Amino acid sequence: MTININIAAKHKLAIYLFYVGLSCCFTVVLNIFHTVYFLKIELTTASFVVPIFAGLLFGLMLAHIKALSAQLRNVAHTDSLTKIYNRLHFAHFLDAEIGKVKRYGGKFSIIFFDLDHFKDVNDNYGHLVGDDVLACVTDIVSKANRSADIFARYGGEEFIILTPETDLSGALIHAERLRNDIEKFEFKIAGHITSSFGVTEFNAETDRVETLLERADKALYLAKEYGRNRVEKA
């Protein structure tokens, strides 16, 4: 989390410096051209320096607007607690992947999972501990995912992963690794927590978004029914 914050701060500083520098350069060039070639008067120190300050102020305002715009986009696309994609933005990736596979061919799978007995964590230790568990699980899964995988918080303690170019068997292997990683991890206060997984592969001939998600949810339900802390397919 600290690394992400540092990267975001450096990115914001870079935006500020870029727009401030661009605005100052543009203002200086425009001032010299306007004074010397248009007004045809001598360029004094005052007439050179004052517009630089004006450009500096304008650049700061523009950079601030751009930084706020980027922040708003980030809020709209990510979950505030875990900092991964939210359910709404995940839907855009899923629609795009379905369109790509139906048009050009290929395959992908969905991994749907949640934490077993998570309500007990909140009830016994409080919601702050529960939030810490969710953040830790996010970190565990993010480290195990490939760069191409789309990872999102679906709601509450539920998460979903879109795995491009991955068939059912490959997704099952990945889900089992994630289940094992979560089970072995010792959370600071909550101790050991298990998770249940539902996995399904997209069928370009018959599937829609609704049918794909229904199958993944059904597989997760089976994992719960069969005792939790397991991976099931549908």
- The answer for 187, left when phi > 0, alpha when psi is -120 to 50, beta otherwise, is beta
Tokens of 87: 């359910």
Catalytic member of 157, 158, 165, 205: 157
Place of tokens 């597989």: 219
- The answer to whether 126 and 193 have CB atoms below 8 angstroms apart is no
Question: What 8-state DSSP symbol labels residue 96?
Answer: H
Task: Look up 157 and say whether it is catalytic.
Answer: yes
SS3 for 216? Answer: helix
Cβ-based neighbours of 202, under 8 Å, separated by 6 or more: 97, 98, 101, 107, 108, 109, 110, 212
- The answer to whether 107 and 165 have CB atoms below 8 angstroms apart is yes
Tell me how far apart the terminal alpha carbons of the chain are, to the nearest angstrom. Answer: 35
Place of tokens 């679906």: 154
Q: Give dist(CA 171, CA 153) in Å, integer.
A: 18
Mind telling me the catalytic residues? 157
